[in-house]
Amino acid sequence: MSDPLTRQQRDAIGSRERDILVEAGAGTGKTRTTVDRYLNLLEGGLEPSQILVFTFTDKAANELRERVRSEKSEDPSFSMSSAWIGTFHAICGAILRSHPIQADVDPSFEILDDIRAERLKSSAYDSALREFMDTPEREETIARFTPSHLRTGVSRAFEQLRSRGQTVPRLPVPAASDPVRMLTELRNDAAYDLQNCGAGKPILEKISGLIEVLDSKEPADLRFADYSLGHFSSTSKYIQPLVKTMEECRLAIAAAEFGDVIREDLGLLIQAYGERYAELKRDSNVLDFDDLQLQTLELMRSDESIAASYSGRFAEIMVDEFQDTNQLQLDLIEALRNDETRLFTVGDEMQAIYGFRHADVQLFRARRDCDDVTVLPLSANVRSQAPVIASVNAVGRALDGQVEGPLDDTEKSLRQDFADLEVGLEPEQYEGDEVEMSFTEPEGWAELELGPISPALNLDLHDVPATTGSHQGRSPRSGQAHQGNPRKNGHQTV
């Protein structure tokens, strides 16, 4: 017999608002809630063909199908053969194969896996680069980049622009900067740090050299080559704001001096790369994952009758792991619904850590903040007992409080406030209230700089309230994430 549903789970299952966002924390029974809502929709009279479910993986789609079949096993008339459950890529593939003429695709196309796609992309880039470098001026542009950085930059820009819905990617025009103002502010900041930062003599000598370069000409006359003579990098904790400002100035001067020519050249290289890549795919009769979504969206936008047949088909669209969607996928969702279609989205902002296929957590946040969307919490943890949850909340709040400011706009957009977990299980009897917390020590770990949005991680576990336990090893150093070595342990009572 299944455990009883929590009040929050019942609310998420029963709500029939047009737009719903379920904020589902870790261990809150998200999968069960999704399955039970699907079953509830069937019990309310919908057919599987009227419910479209987008999952993050094929495994999740198969699991949902099997759970529904299991729950409906005693109904001999029930069938999942008409169900629309799958990843964005699987759903789009099915739509394109159903309308090959209108979509201008060969219905026998194969889906290009990531490994083979990388081979085609590499070949396309090599061809595009040879084609692009036909003048000394373009060769000069290419010479400004290392080969690996250029290849990676072109590929990533191409893919990111496609994830935003651009069938033929075009580089955007960046916002204008003001190098003169920025250089004036840098001069003031450098003078202040020279007197007050507390750094050692080598750093102070570099700051002095920077000021000398900045004073050598008026800000409006300072060229990139001039500025480069004083620019430097440093990991010194005493001057990190200054280092950041120096880098911003370096980029602003380069953009003002070379930006238009380089952006135009790189735009042409990206265009040539896209054309060569498309030719290789056509020759092999394959579509990559972005093709599936882009061509499905184009089909919906170009053929009103086909679009109407799908938008009028689904009474509800369900999207799992909504924090891992991108703009192209959101556009697809909207193209597949009409004014009567409910949209039920489930996700957890705190799990948006992968950037998978250019996922954009800002889409999740924008939907959460929209007045027309009903936001339902799913925060009652049904995996852990109260003492464990209390310990996690205490540590989480302490780490959250150690994030050091001030943060700029970009860092604020990345900031995720810690939200307390709630207890979802019924209380049980314990032989004690001890909670053991174990951490591996950082020796030999790989370090990853998280920047100013990372906590200091010098947490005093003695401040954790209402729990006792053990702490193994030492806390990692400030601003670093680690991959631990579990064999290197210590022991400390807290």
100-104, 191-195, 358-362, 396-400: which range is least confident on average? Answer: 396-400
Share of the chain above pLDDT 90, in %: 67
Q: How does residue 209 score in pLDDT terms, banded at 50, 70 and 90? A: very high
C-alpha 390/C-alpha 468 separation (Å) is: 11
DSSP classification of residue 81: T
Amino acid identity at 35: V
In three-state secondary structure terms, 266 is: helix
In order of 63, 140, 179, 190, 223, the CA distances from 209 in angstroms are 63, 29, 19, 10, 16
pTM as predicted: 0.75
Contact 352, 324 (CB under 8 A): yes
Contact 424, 382 (CB under 8 A): yes
In this predicted model, what pLDDT tens digit does every residue of 140-198 receive, in sequence order?
999 989 999 999 999 999 999 999 999 999 998 888 889 999 999 999 999 999 999 99
Q: Which listed CATH number (3.40.50.300, 3.40.50.2300, 3.40.720.10, 2.60.120.260) goes with 7-106+290-376?
A: 3.40.50.300
Average pLDDT estimate for 450-456: 45
In three-state secondary structure terms, 20 is: strand
Q: Supply 190's token pair.
A: 């450098």
92-106, 324-338, 422-436: which range is least confident on average? Answer: 422-436
480 compared with 358, residue with greater pLDDT:
358
C-alpha 337/C-alpha 341 separation (Å) is: 5
The domain ranges of the chain are: 7-106+290-376, 138-284, 386-493
